Amino acid sequence: MNDAPTRTPAPAAPTRREQILREAARLFAERGFHGVGVDEIGAAVGISGPGLYRHFAGKDAMLAELLIGISERLFAGGQRRVIDATSTGGGPAAVLGSLIDGHIDFALDDRALITLHDRELGQLRDSDRKQVRSLQRQYVELWVDVVGRLHPGSGEAEVRAAVHAVFGLLNSTPHLGRPGALPGRTATAALLRRLAHGAFASLSDGAPAGPAGPSVKPSAG
Amino acid sequence: MNDAPTRTPAPAAPTRREQILREAARLFAERGFHGVGVDEIGAAVGISGPGLYRHFAGKDAMLAELLIGISERLFAGGQRRVIDATSTGGGPAAVLGSLIDGHIDFALDDRALITLHDRELGQLRDSDRKQVRSLQRQYVELWVDVVGRLHPGSGEAEVRAAVHAVFGLLNSTPHLGRPGALPGRTATAALLRRLAHGAFASLSDGAPAGPAGPSVKPSAG
DNA sequence: CCTTCAGGTTAACGACCACTAACGCCGCTG
DNA sequence: CAGCGGCGTTAGTGGTCGTTAACCTGAAGG
């Protein structure tokens, strides 16, 4: 149905398709899928409007390829890291550390895709959405497995929720893109790493949930 | 609810406006601002299409009122909690605990608004967007102040980034709305509280960033 | 009873937008 | 040179959607 692989499919897909995908991702992340017209996408790569249809079946196809690609890369990378860290004799702590590092790399390198990942899923056709969700679920499972092994005292539902919460933490990178943010990529990565490890560490802490003691009852707004 | 006589003009707008706003928030969060038509919003409250224009100047006005309302409530609530916790003799730890609890309440009670908060900001008119951003900045400042006081060893940029990251963590609630998630609201709140405190605690930990030791060098993705 | 007004209704309009049609240019290959 | 296929162009088309116009209804109020 879709355009056949014109050339070598995998290694060095040349220029235009990737260029279009990158700009489309950026624009979709900035203004939302429905907020961007095909003319804008075309203009962003130097061609105009319907010229895009020589490379993609439609606007939906671009989004689908983006979201499926993200999910695949996330899951494949996570899987690889689990295998590598395990095969080199690392325990669950090492595996989790590698997963965190990998996710941070992804979040820092592909902010636009991170944004799209959980924003425009509803715009996909049913089949594509199912595929993305399946990949997401498998990726989450990698984390739940290792976190559950690290914190046997926590129930699976709790671990799963914690994993999602830490995803939210790591995926916050688009919000800190301000001007004079952190010194650099390395510092940001280090900070996120510490925060993520700190969050997970609280699962087995002896410390209770609320150290604030009295706290202020909210009641009325 | 019926305490106010129906003739009071301005202050207590009765039911319809609020009803429309609630449904609009839900729909916008589900399918995005541009993904929802006015007919759908109208249908959700039992009227059809252009009837909404008796209550709002337009679709944009609904979104603006939603986003400004969220930001105002967030900031006002945070401010109140800082004052209350401080006046009752609480130190920075107590203040931070109260801020966290308040944000969790908000995240659990108004998932749709949390989603809109950082998703549809770009759709606002310039003046409205400025107002929302200003309120957001002031809210962040509340957190940065207290977290900075709790962790004097961290630079301001680092603290700011950590605050944003913890916001991402706490705002992850829309992603755990699955079927058999956590037992209940209380358990979810307790978990989020622990995770947030754990993340902040890592700022002053003696523990270095990467406890995984050797870890797997990622290089290419 | 007649007026007024808030809160609806349906019909229509205008803008926008994804997509298609028809055509042009250019570097191949034979 | 002929022809062809990849890649781009502009003009047009159908559909959707926000918004407005014109009209209706029912309750309050003198």
The predicted model gives A18-26 an average pLDDT of: 97
Please give the Cα distance from B192 to B179 (Å, whole number).
Answer: 18
Q: Which of residues A219 and A180 earns the better pLDDT score? A: A180
Q: What is the pLDDT of residues B108-147, one digit of tens each?
A: 999 999 999 989 999 999 999 999 999 999 999 999 999 9
Given a contact cutoff of 8 angstroms between Cβ atoms, the answer to whether B32 and A122 are in contact is yes
Please give the Cα distance from A17 to A118 (Å, whole number).
Answer: 23
CA distances from B88 to A213, A220, B82, B103 (A): 12, 19, 10, 20
Q: Compute the nearest-CA separation of A193 from chain B (Å).
A: 6
Which pLDDT band holds residue B3 (cuts at 50, 70, 90)?
very low
CA nearest to A218, candidates B72, B80, B116, B145: B80
Q: What is the pLDDT of residues A151-201, one digit of tens each?
A: 999 999 999 999 999 999 999 999 986 655 667 899 999 999 999 999 999
Q: Which nucleotide lies closest to A34 by the C1' atom and the CA atom?
A: C17
Please give the Cα distance from A210 to A47 (Å, whole number).
Answer: 57
Q: What is the pLDDT of residues B67-116, one digit of tens each?
A: 999 999 999 999 999 999 999 999 999 999 999 999 999 999 999 999 99
Given a contact cutoff of 8 angstroms between Cβ atoms, the answer to whether A201 and A121 are in contact is no
Given a contact cutoff of 8 angstroms between Cβ atoms, the answer to whether A27 and A40 are in contact is yes
* Candidate from A168, A188, A195 with C-beta closest to B202: A195
Please give the Cα distance from B121 to B114 (Å, whole number).
Answer: 12
Please give the Cα distance from A216 to A182 (Å, whole number).
Answer: 33
Report chain B's terminal Cα–Cα distance, integer Å. Answer: 57
Given a contact cutoff of 8 angstroms between Cβ atoms, the answer to whether B139 and B74 are in contact is yes
Does residue B207 have a pLDDT over 80?
Answer: no
Does residue A102 have a pLDDT over 90?
Answer: yes
Instruction: Name residue A92's amino acid.
Output: P
* Non-local CB neighbours of B68 within 8 Å, separated by 6+ positions: B128, B131, B132, B135
Given a contact cutoff of 8 angstroms between Cβ atoms, the answer to whether A125 and A2 are in contact is no
Given a contact cutoff of 8 angstroms between Cβ atoms, the answer to whether B102 and B85 are in contact is no
- Interface mutation target, options A215, A217, A219, chain B, most CBs of B under 10 Å: A215
CA nearest to A201, candidates B214, B205, B217: B205
The predicted model gives B173-187 an average pLDDT of: 78
CA nearest to B216, candidates A29, A206, A79, A139: A79
Please give the Cα distance from A127 to A67 (Å, whole number).
Answer: 13
Please give the Cα distance from B32 to B139 (Å, whole number).
Answer: 25
Residue of B nearest to A70 (CA): B221
Please give the Cα distance from A123 to A180 (Å, whole number).
Answer: 34
Q: What is the overall mean pLDDT for chain A?
A: 88
Residue of B nearest to A85 (CA): B216
pLDDT of residue A14: 65
The predicted model gives A141-160 an average pLDDT of: 97
Protein residue with the closest CA to the C1' atom of nucleotide C8 = B51
| Percent of chain B whose predicted confidence (pLDDT) is above 70 | 84
Q: What is the pTM of this model?
A: 0.89
Please give the Cα distance from A120 to A67 (Å, whole number).
Answer: 9
Q: Which of residues B41 and B9 earns the better pLDDT score? A: B41
Q: What is the overall mean pLDDT for chain B?
A: 88
Residues in B 130-149 with any Cβ partner in A closer than 8 A: none
Given a contact cutoff of 8 angstroms between Cβ atoms, the answer to whether A112 and A189 are in contact is no
Tokens of B151: 């962790």
